[in-house]
């Protein structure tokens, strides 16, 4: 009897593991904030919040036998940027323009059997007061008893945004508990023009790039993908060099002279070369995806008083059919 119960339990667990590999939808959020790192700072990229929906497409209907997975995504996000503080004695202390960025995005993520991935994204939104940066930050400060804001009059003015991006990942090498991936991206549009390259190192229990947290592809409709692990649990490190041509949260409307006559807008002078380091831990279960990380960037604006800035990030996703 005990043997039969053991076999039944083992069968159920195996079924759960197999089923977990084929969740076809996920929803969830990502929250970024510099306070997550416990340093008491409130500067530069200070807060971000994003809502995600992703749906795995049926690759068998795409007439491309090289595809292992394909994921369609929707994203609603807001980013908020400060100067060195949200409470400053004068305009002379504003070392980075205040800005809010609000957008809606759609993406197509194509993931190949050879562990090359291509993600294409389009985003439409706005930079400036209409993005709601000031009221959201004021709400956060009032709710948690932080200091009173007094410098949002120095934010960039309203500018509509239409931006496109492409991201590529390619597996370079893999061992039993570690692998190395080449990553690159290009952004182009009315607000954000940049490109970046770098490696990504993963250590632990990870899956192939065609179905992994690392490539935003933890959902799949294919039953032919044999994964390395039912659940992922790994550490990652992603250094990157970024070449920046234009940033609307610093420079404002790309089609206008800056600062605009008759305004109090303060426009920063961007650094065209920025180094970033991202590290964290990712975990998946049969239903949930968790990613906890930190990002450290070198100075993005030449006027910045601090040579680096950093923030923490928390992502929680729920997978379902």
Residues 245-297 pLDDT 10s: 999 999 999 988 777 665 667 777 899 999 999 999 999 999 999 999 999 99
- Count of other CB atoms within 10 angstroms of residue 162: 12
> What is the pTM for the complete model shown?
0.90
Question: Any idea which residue has 């060195």 for tokens?
Answer: 84
- CB under 8 Å, gap of 24 or more: what pairs does 12-17 form? 16/286, 17/230, 17/231, 17/286
Burial class (CB in 10 A: 0-12, 13-18, 19+), 215: buried
- Count of other CB atoms within 10 angstroms of residue 212: 26
Domains and their CATH numbers in the chain? 2-320 (2.40.128.140)
- Residue 9: band (very low, low, confident or very high) from pLDDT cuts 50, 70, 90: very low
**Three-state secondary-structure class, residue 61:** helix
Q: What's residue 262's pLDDT? A: 52
Instruction: Specify whether the CB–CB gap between 32 and 19 falls below 8 A.
Output: no
pLDDT digits (tens, 9 = 90+) for 41-82: 789 999 999 999 999 999 988 888 899 999 999 999 999 999
**Three-state secondary-structure class, residue 7:** helix
- As a whole number of angstroms, the distance between CA 278 and CA 173 comes to 20
- Buried b / exposed e over 115-138, threshold 16 CB at 10 Å, is bbbebebebebbbbbebbbbebbe
For residue 107, the surrounding DSSP H or E stretch is strand 99-112
Percentage of residues of the chain with pLDDT beyond 90: 76
pLDDT digits (tens, 9 = 90+) for 183-218: 999 999 999 999 999 999 999 999 999 999 999 999
Which neighbouring-strand residues pair with 308? 298
């Amino acid at each position: 009897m005990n043997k039969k119960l053991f076999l039944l339990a083992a069968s159920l667990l195996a079924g759960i593991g197999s089923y977990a590999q084929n969740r076809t939808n996920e929803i969830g959020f990502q929250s970024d904030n510099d306070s997550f790192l416990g340093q008491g700072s409130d500067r530069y990229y200070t807060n971000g919040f994003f809502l995600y929906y992703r749906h795995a497409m049926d690759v068998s209907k795409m007439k491309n036998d090289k595809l292992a997975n394909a994921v369609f995504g929707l994203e609603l996000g807001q980013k908020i940027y400060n100067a060195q503080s949200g409470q400053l004695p004068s305009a002379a202390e504003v070392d980075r323009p205040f800005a809010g960025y609000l957008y809606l995005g759609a993406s197509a993520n194509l993931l190949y059997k050879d562990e090359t991935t291509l993600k294409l994204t389009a985003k439409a939104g706005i930079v400036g007061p209409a993005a709601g940066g000031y009221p959201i930050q004021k709400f956060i400060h009032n709710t948690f008893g932080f200091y009173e804001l007094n410098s949002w009059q120095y934010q960039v003015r309203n500018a509509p945004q239409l931006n496109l991006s492409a991201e590529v990942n390619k597996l370079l090498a893999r061992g039993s508990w570690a692998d190395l991936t080449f990553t690159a991206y290009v952004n182009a549009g009315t607000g954000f023009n940049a490109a970046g390259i770098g490696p990504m190192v993963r250590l632990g229990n990870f899956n192939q790039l065609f179905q992994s947290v690392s490539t935003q592809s933890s959902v799949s409709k294919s039953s032919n993908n044999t994964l390395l692990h039912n659940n992922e649990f790994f550490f990652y490190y992603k250094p990157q060099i970024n070449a920046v041509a234009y940033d609307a949260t610093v420079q404002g409307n790309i089609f206008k002279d800056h600062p605009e006559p008759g305004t109090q807008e303060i426009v920063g002078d961007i650094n065209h070369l920025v180094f970033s380091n991202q590290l964290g831990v990712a975990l998946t279960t049969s239903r949930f995806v968790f990613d906890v990380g930190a990002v450290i960037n070198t100075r993005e604006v030449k006027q910045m008083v601090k040579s680096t800035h950093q923030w923490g990030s928390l992502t929680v996703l729920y997978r379902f059919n």
